[in-house]
């Protein structure tokens, strides 16, 4: 009975697997056969050109990354999923993906539930592993292969029914499931809105990002000082950036709001706070308040020193004279990184005040 059931699921049950994945809360589901990764060579070349910056973890596991059969011995198929994180929500100082609970935890838990369901359905152990941006897997490559979308000019995967505001995950399993046709079309056409809108000119060419200039990299992955020439373009963005997605016509038309009870809804520490208010809050935080406010949040990745650095830059760009006291207190922060950026911010505020005085005096 078990071999027959397993065979039936493998040959005919891709639809059943997808239905189960949709039932677990995923918004997109596709099946891909495992094998050599289509974009591995391009990824290697991108890293070689230095566009990954300080993200030294990216080249690790290169051999496994180049062939998706290698991370899980015996794996034949990937169930590739997408989960919306609310692209129709208003913009703000924190990128939409990071306002709620950590997507890694949310999606891995659901993929493990799917893994358990497969094993129960087949009546045997299923060798497999869930990946959500945490291993040597080019998830975007697998997602295109599974028919979930095309690579937009901003390098994001774009789905024709959902836009690009969604997370990608994959469950690699030792089951041969019927694969979906890959997404072959390029539906960006002649549009270059994403490229033109980037505040830091981070796109070297269509579909080629210099991460070292990207605001998401600068405010999250970069551990040291933000280059001075890029601080002003950061504007009021405290953690991450959605600009290249905000202007995409596919998102303007198809991005969704968050359903009630979504784990990605903004947490209390962020709710209804503009960039200036949030920056002031963060600069006043100690480690205990930071841990309480951002427990289980993607924003913990930047650590408190990184968030305070970012907060100082935001106040340097949008702060007022009233914020000078908070920044002056930050000059005594134990972290040199915070002190440096607070000094820069105070200089910016003083410069704006001088310009305002000159403007009034010339009238």
**H or E element in which residue 126 lies:** none
Confidence class of residue 361 from pLDDT cuts 50, 70 and 90? low
pLDDT over 70 at 1, yes or no: no
Residue 133 known to be catalytic: yes
pLDDT attached to residue 360: 61
CB 101 within 8 A of CB 109: no
More confident residue, 6 or 1: 6
70-110 tens-digit pLDDT:
999 999 999 999 999 999 999 999 999 999 999 999 999 99
182-192 tens-digit pLDDT:
999 999 999 99
Confidence class of residue 12 from pLDDT cuts 50, 70 and 90? very low
- Helices 303-318, 275-283: inter-axial angle, 10-degree rounding: 140
Domain with CATH 1.25.10.10 in the chain: 200-240+267-353
Choose the catalytic residue: 133, 174, 246, 281.
133
Above pLDDT 90, what percent of the chain? 92
pTM: 0.94
- For the domain 200-240+267-353, what is the CATH code? 1.25.10.10
- DSSP for 34-79, please give it: -SB-TTHHHHHHHHHTTTTTT-TTTTTTHHHHHBTTSSSTT--EEE
Confidence class of residue 9 from pLDDT cuts 50, 70 and 90? low
CB 124 within 8 A of CB 117: no
CB 341 within 8 A of CB 333: no
pLDDT attached to residue 355: 78
């Amino acid at each position: 009975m078990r071999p027959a059931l397993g065979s039936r699921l493998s040959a005919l049950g891709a639809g059943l697997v997808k239905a189960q994945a949709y039932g677990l809360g995923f918004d997109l589901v596709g099946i891909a056969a495992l094998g050599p990764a289509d974009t591995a060579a391009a990824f290697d070349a991108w890293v070689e050109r230095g566009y990954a910056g300080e993200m030294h973890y990216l080249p690790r596991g290169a051999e496994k990354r180049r062939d998706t059969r290698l991370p899980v011995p015996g794996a034949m198929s990937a169930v590739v999923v997408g989960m919306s994180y609310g692209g129709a929500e208003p913009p703000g100082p924190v990128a939409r993906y990071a306002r709620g609970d950590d997507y890694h935890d949310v999606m891995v838990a659901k993929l493990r539930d799917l893994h358990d369901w497969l094993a129960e359905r087949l009546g045997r152990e299923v060798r497999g592993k869930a990946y959500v941006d945490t291993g040597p897997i080019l998830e975007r490559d697998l997602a295109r292969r599974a028919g979930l979308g095309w690579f937009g000019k901003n390098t994001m995967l774009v789905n024709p029914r959902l836009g690009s505001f969604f997370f990608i995950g994959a469950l690699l399993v030792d089951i041969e499931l019927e694969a979906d046709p890959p997404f072959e079309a390029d539906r960006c056409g002649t549009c270059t809105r994403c490229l033109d809108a980037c505040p830091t000119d981070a796109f070297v060419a269509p579909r080629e990002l210099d991460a070292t200039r990207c605001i998401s990299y600068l405010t999250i992955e970069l551990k040291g000082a933000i280059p001075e020439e890029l601080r002003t373009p950061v504007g009021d963005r405290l953690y991450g950036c959605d600009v290249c997605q905000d202007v995409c016509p596919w998102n303007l038309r198809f991005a969704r709001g968050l359903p009630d009870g979504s784990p990605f809804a903004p947490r209390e520490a962020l709710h209804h706070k503009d960039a200036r208010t949030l920056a002031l809050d963060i600069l006043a935080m100690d480690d205990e308040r930071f841990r309480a406010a951002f427990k289980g949040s993607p924003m913990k990745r930047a650590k408190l020193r990184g968030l305070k650095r970012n907060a100082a830059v935001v106040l340097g760009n949008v702060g007022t004279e009233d914020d000078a006291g908070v920044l002056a207190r930050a000059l005594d922060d134990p972290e040199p990184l915070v002190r440096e950026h607070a000094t820069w911010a105070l200089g910016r505020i003083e410069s704006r005040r001088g310009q305002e005085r000159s403007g009034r005096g010339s009238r």
